[in-house]
């Protein structure tokens, strides 16, 4: 059933246009915020926004304010999942822009959705790996007995991985169905 139309534009098209803008804003905002927080944030702030595991904060504060090398290292590690997510959001933006034009099953819509799913999956995987790497890297200068190896695997991370994998499979199936439909059209 088609969505309600106003002036020839369906509700789905309007929502898609708004979401496309949101994807663009968040795709730029996330890496900028991560970099800014690492550039200017205290250990307390970095733990509060979960850019460092909160359980290592006391050992990090014992060493004083974050040093430049810790800030650069932390930012570099945290920017990997952030940039993957941003790339995925830009791919989703392409799909949403196609939806806003009324092209719900075209190649651009399907490929954008598949790109978003793949990038989101890899961003979730990178975020799981980045926690232990980050904790070891930034605590190297701590005194003996206060170096950290922190592991963090939450239900939310598992759901992100599973959700992205499911969406990736669905988008791949849509791409295959689209190519079969196109092939069948050429025979008729």
Q: Rounded mean pLDDT of 7-13? A: 81
The Cα 78–Cα 31 span in angstroms is 9
How confident is the model over 48-75, as a mean pLDDT? Answer: 91
pLDDT of residue 188: 61
* Rounded distance between C-alpha atoms, residue 148 and residue 151, angstroms: 10
Cα torsion 32, 33, 34, 36: sign: positive
Closest CA to 134 of 30, 15, 51: 51
- Predicted TM-score (pTM) of this structure: 0.85
154 pLDDT tier (thresholds 50, 70, 90): confident
Place 1 in a pLDDT band, splitting at 50, 70 and 90: very low
Tell me how far apart the alpha carbons of residues 65 and 53 are, in angstroms, rounded to a whole number: 16
Q: Kind and range of the H or E element at 10?
A: strand 9-10
């Amino acid at each position: 059933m088609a969505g309600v139309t106003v002036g020839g534009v369906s509700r789905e098209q309007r929502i898609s246009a708004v979401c496309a803008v949101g994807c663009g804003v968040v795709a730029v905002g996330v890496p900028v915020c991560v970099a800014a927080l690492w550039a200017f944030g205290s250990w307390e702030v970095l733990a509060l926004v979960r850019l460092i595991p909160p359980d290592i904060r006391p050992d990090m504060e014992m060493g004083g304010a974050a040093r430049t090398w810790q800030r650069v290292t932390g930012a570099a590690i945290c920017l990997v999942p952030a940039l993957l997510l941003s790339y995925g959001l830009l791919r989703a933006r392409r799909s949403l822009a196609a939806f806003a034009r009324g092209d719900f099953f075209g190649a651009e819509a399907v490929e954008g959705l598949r790109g978003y799913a793949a990038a989101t999956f890899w961003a979730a995987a990178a975020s799981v790996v980045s926690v232990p790497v980050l904790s070891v890297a930034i605590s190297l200068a701590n005194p003996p007995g206060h170096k950290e190896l922190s592991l963090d695997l939450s239900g939310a991370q598992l759901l992100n991985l599973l959700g992205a994998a499911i969406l990736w499979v669905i988008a791949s199936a849509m791409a295959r169905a689209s190519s079969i439909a196109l092939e069948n059209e050429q025979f008729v």
